[in-house]
Structure 1
Amino acid sequence: MSAGLRVEKVGPLATVQDLGRPGWFDSGVGVAGAADRGSLRLANRLVGNPEGAAGIEVLLGGLEVVAERHLTVAVTGAAAPATVDGRPVGAASVLRLEEGQRLRLGWATAGLRSYVAVRGGLAVDAVLGSRSRDTLSGLGPEPLRAGDILPIGAPPREYPVVDVAPVAPPPAGRVTVRAIPGPRADWFADPAALFRGDWSVSSDTDRIGARLDRRTGPALERAISGELPTEGMALGSVQVPPSGQPVVFLADHPITGGYPVIAVVLAADVDAVAQARPGQPLRFLPYY
């Protein structure tokens, strides 16, 4: 491995992420990994990496990095305008940086998280088999800071054969996600109320989970008082605390919890929740 990418500026948050560290639940360690797994996989495919190679997850934008040697990179995810030395470049396209060239991500106009993959992957130290940062437990590499030098791994043998992927940016309007009834749906007087009307993504959202406010439709009322003994929590679980504001668990969610889970978002739709911005409407569709 060799140094290849120097961090010049960081926006609200930028972390190294791969597809996480499964298999450690019995030790109290969650999977973590990219919040929008599909966007990281796409960025890696564009540069010829294995889908699980480590890249950079950027919240909202504001990242600036400089190539210390020739690099092949790709940017996917949120609709954040990207430039190379001030020249606009396309989204989800293969970019070739020469030594000294600067890649900058502006502020996203749709979506929440962008992904930067580098051919060869980021070769930071792995913890429990993963290079991902878990913001709940503090495992993995520290969030990126100006001045960091990111080592790059050996490039794979296969070279990318496309210049751009024809993918749409995350929606700027209502986000619709599918969910199945949860294991504790019977704790609610009308569990179907979750699926009626719209919710709104709260400003209280992060890699752990997206908290929702009721926008239109009925409130969620408990049929059973009290709380549950601690039980396991899956990615996409829609947990409802006493406030009645559901929380959709994302990549860094706790592996156990005591509030009832009214529904579980399909794994294929969790990425859409991870890209939903504060204030954006969200609707659940029942999936049976």
Structure 2
Amino acid sequence: TVQDQGRRGVLADGVALSGAADRAALRVANRLVGTAATAAGVEITMGGFRAVRDAAASAEDLWFALAGAWGTMRLDGRPLDPYVAHPWPAGAELEIDTFTHGVRAYLAVRGGVAARSLLGSRATDTLAGLGPAPLAAGDVLGVGGDVAGPVPAVDLRPWSPPAAELDIALAPGPRADRFATVEPLFAEVWTVSTQADRVGIRLEGPPLERADVSELASEGMLPGAIQVPPDGHPVILGPDGPVTGGYPVVAVVTDADRDLLGQARPGTRLRFRRVGAASSGPS
């Protein structure tokens, strides 16, 4: 899908933030090719991506970079390193195999991906169907004009493959008082299930026991909110998650750690830790 840094200021109108699941990775990829941090790129999930630069394009090379998930990447059969700017000659084919670490890589091109802006963003919202349609075979993408400066001569940003176990900081949730105890949330190691996408991540582990099973009126939701449905298994809302919901929110992932969840694939283990004051009840 085409993604940028998301739609800001429209949650009250019922529109999700959307944008890159790993916002930092997209910003880094854009920086590597001298493109504005807010520019759009391509979010590639689990790999299996191929693209050819138009053979009729300008003879001048197009610069591109890949950041985020890690797997085998080639340009016309030549292996590529992530987190490095590369020239993309006309007619050359970029091939990305299935990722071995992480779940989402970001392809940035110098100038950004050109797409129609909706409510201040070019992001694809997979739940509401807003923004550019998910990419399919035969689609043609244009290059935008979001150039911020020259391609850096050297970029020494350290990087490593996304980890198989993540430490995630949680702020107190407004409905934590509806549970018999929240201790299992922090004491257990949770596993990302196969039900994981841009809308939400369902976790496998011991169910959280509700002390209050009465229904809640639907209330506002944010990316990172951890809702607990009747079966007790937590669901972490993603960038395309619903903006309202009636399941109690036991905790909320801090904004700083949301990008980590953008690389959580089925089987990834999550450990949660507390930040902030203990919840005093509903707000």
Please tell me whether residue 166 in structure 1 is matched to residue 152 in structure 2: no
Instruction: Provide the secondary structure at the position in 2 that maps to 1:111.
Output: strand
Q: Are the aligned partners of 1:94 and 1:162 in contact in 2 as well (CA < 8 Å)?
A: no
Equivalent residue, structure 2, for 1:57: 43
What is the match of residue 77 of structure 2? 86
Kindly state the Cα deviation for residue 284 of structure 1 after the two structures are TM-superposed: 0.7
Query: 1: CA distance between counterparts of 2:30 and 2:225?
Result: 27
Specify the code of the residue in structure 2 equivalent to 1:74.
A
Return the letter of the residue paired with 1:18: D
Change (3 A) 1:128 1:194: same
Establish whether residue 255 from structure 1 lines up as the match of residue 243 from structure 2.
yes
| Aligned partner of residue 241 in structure 1, secondary structure | coil
Aligned to 2:209: 221
Q: Give the whole-Å Cα distance in 2 for the aligned partners of 1:34 and 1:223.
A: 36
Does the residue aligned with 1:41 lie in a helix, a strand or coil? helix
The one-letter code matched in structure 2 to 1:169 is P
Aligned mate of 2:185, from 194, 212, 218? 194
- Aligned-partner Cα distance in 2 for 1:91–1:130: 26
Q: Specify which of 16, 33, 38 is matched with residue 47 of structure 1.
A: 33
- Cα distance, 1:155–1:209 mapped onto 2, change above 3 Å: closer
Partner of 1:20 in structure 2? 6
Q: Distance in 1 between matches of 2:153 and 2:37?
A: 16
Q: Pairwise mapping of residues 137-286 of structure 1 onto structure 2 (< 5 A)?
A: 137-154=128-145, 156=147, 158-164=149-155, 165-171=157-163, 173-214=164-205, 219-286=207-274
SS where residue 141 of structure 2 aligns?
A: strand
Instruction: Give the letter for the 2:42 counterpart.
Output: I
Unaligned runs of 5+ in 2: 277-283
| 8 Å contact from structure 1 (residues 210, 274) kept in 2 | no
Q: 1:234 to 1:33 in 2, by over 3 A?
A: same
**Unaligned runs of at least 5 residues, structure 1:** 1-14
**Structure 1 equivalent of residue 279 of structure 2:** none
Q: TM-score, normalised by structure 2?
A: 0.92
- Let me know the Cα RMSD of the aligned residues: 1.3
1:82-130 CA-to-partner distances (Å, cap 9, x unmatched) read 1110110111110101111111111100100010000001111112221
Give the counterpart letter for 1:246 in structure 2.
Answer: P
Shift of 1:163: 4.6
Paired amino acid for 1:129: G
Q: CA deviation at 1:225?
A: 1.2
Deviations 1:36-73 (A, max 9, x none): 11111111111111111000000100111111232100
Whole-angstrom CA distance in 2 between matches of 1:124 and 1:270: 25
Are residue 29 (structure 1) and residue 25 (structure 2) matched? Answer: no
SS at match of 1:142: coil
SS in 1 for 2:222: coil
Residue in structure 1 matching 2:87, options 96, 106, 120: 96
Alignment partners' CA distance in 1, 2:21 and 2:207:
28
Q: Find the counterpart in structure 1 of residue 280 from structure 2.
A: none
Distance 2:20 2:235 in 1: 18
Alignment partners' CA distance in 1, 2:12 and 2:210: 31
Change (3 A) 1:91 1:26: same
Q: Is the 8 A contact 1:93 1:163 kept in 2?
A: no
Deviation at 1:187, TM superposition (A): 0.5
For the 8 Å contact 2:226–2:234, the answer to whether it is kept is: yes
Tell me the CA shift for residue 219 of structure 1: 3.5
State the aligned residue count.
270
Aligned residue for 1:6?
none
Which residue number corresponds to residue 62 of structure 2? Answer: 71
What's the % identity of the aligned pairs? 47
Amino acid at match of 1:29: V
